[in-house]
């Protein structure tokens, strides 16, 4: 069975405070986008259990990999003997704030539910997903959604319109736990805009920009550069970074913006033109 695991962007991310369990209480509006990891899942040999392979050698194996943890959680919950082969082809970059690992995990849960004909409702899979990672329940619902608590309380919500997106990621990652740990004591950089932006009936704001921009100043420079481009309607860091995305106006040539960004900012920038789905 071939499945496609979409990336996501946070159109809005508000941190409401620190919880007693060490996580942060958040409210975020997340949208899946048309950038995908590709996963091949087949029933395997019971002697081999869960076999996992990936074309990217930097992707962790075993219990450190969210897709493997998802498979283990599924087999433990259903009492089915683990016998599956998972082949992952990575397209979503790591440490990018695009939810690649979480999406892989959710896609594995959905695929195994179909492959083994267990007919578990989406809500049961989302409950299973909670222990794997905060973003995993969101991806189970395969829809844009408002996510609350630490991210596991998911309310699917349709986007008012499809948005054209241009992703920019420099050659470094931002650790999510680090970004959240710095949120409370961080300060705004003078001259950098953190204010909410409005476009197409949507509010764009990310409370994690403050701690991340303080250390990774290039991301602040990238955001401010994008705000100056006439083709860009709004721009924001996704999740904890390091991806910054631009919402494009109608009938815009994304390639021209990419060429400009690489010429004026960083020739090694990873970019991807896509849209919300």
Same domain, 24 and 151: yes
Same domain, 116 and 11: yes
Rounded Cα distance, 191 and 53, in Å? 46
pLDDT per residue as tens digits for the range 92-124: 998 899 999 999 999 999 999 999 999 999 999
Give the number of domains in the chain: 2
Q: What is the predicted pLDDT for the residue at 182?
A: 94
Q: Which residue has the higher pLDDT, 213 or 60?
A: 213
Q: What is the predicted pLDDT for the residue at 97?
A: 94
Average pLDDT over residues 71-93: 96
Same domain, 129 and 47: yes
Antiparallel, parallel or unpaired: β 153-156 and 50-54: unpaired
Please report which confidence band the pLDDT of residue 164 belongs to, taking 50, 70 and 90 as the band edges: very high
Picking from 130, 156, 182, the residue at the C-terminal end of a domain is 156
Same domain, 15 and 118: yes
Its pTM stands at 0.94
Domain that holds residue 200: 164-275
User: CB-based burial of residue 95 (10 Å sphere; 0-12 exposed, 13-18 middle, 19+ buried)?
Assistant: middle
| Residues acting as catalytic residues | 8, 135
Task: Please state the φ and ψ torsions of residue 275, each to the nearest 5 degrees.
Answer: -150, 165
Same domain, 189 and 265: yes
Same domain, 47 and 173: no
Question: What CATH number is associated with residue 101?
Answer: 3.30.230.10
Give the percent of the chain with pLDDT over 70. Answer: 100
pLDDT at 74 over 80: yes
Please report which confidence band the pLDDT of residue 85 belongs to, taking 50, 70 and 90 as the band edges: very high
Rounded Cα distance, 6 and 38, in Å? 9
Picking from 122, 156, 190, the residue at the C-terminal end of a domain is 156
- Stated as kind and residue range, the H or E segment containing 74 is helix 66-78
């Amino acid at each position: 069975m071939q499945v496609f695991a979409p990336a996501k962007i946070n159109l809005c991310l508000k941190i409401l405070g620190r919880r007693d369990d060490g996580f942060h209480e958040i409210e975020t509006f997340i949208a899946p986008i048309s950038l995908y990891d590709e996963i091949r899942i087949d029933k395997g040999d019971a002697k081999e259990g869960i076999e996992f392979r990936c074309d990217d050698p930097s992707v962790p194996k075993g219990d450190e990999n969210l897709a493997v943890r998802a498979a283990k959680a599924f087999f433990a919950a259903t009492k089915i003997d683990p016998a599956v082969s998972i082949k992952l082809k990575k397209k979503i970059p790591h440490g990018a704030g695009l939810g690649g690992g979480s999406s892989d995990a959710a896609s594995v849960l959905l695929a195994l539910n179909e492959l083994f004909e267990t007919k578990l409702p989406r809500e049961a899979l989302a409950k299973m997903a909670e222990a794997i990672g905060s973003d995993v329940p969101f991806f189970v619902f395969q829809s844009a959604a408002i996510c609350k608590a630490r991210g596991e309380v998911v309310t699917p919500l349709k986007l008012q319109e499809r948005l054209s997106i241009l992703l920019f990621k420099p050659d470094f990652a931002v650790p999510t736990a680090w970004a959240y740990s710095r949120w409370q004591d961080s300060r705004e950089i003078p001259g950098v805009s953190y204010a909410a932006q409005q476009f197409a009936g949507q509010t764009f704001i990310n409370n994690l920009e403050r701690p991340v921009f303080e250390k990774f100043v290039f991301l602040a420079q990238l955001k401010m550069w994008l705000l100056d481009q006439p083709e860009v309607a709004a721009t924001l860091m996704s999740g904890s970074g390091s991806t910054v995305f631009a919402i494009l106006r109608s009938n815009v040539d994304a390639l021209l913006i990419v060429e400009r960004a690489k010429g004026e900012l960083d020739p090694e920038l990873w970019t991807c033109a896509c849209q919300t789905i």
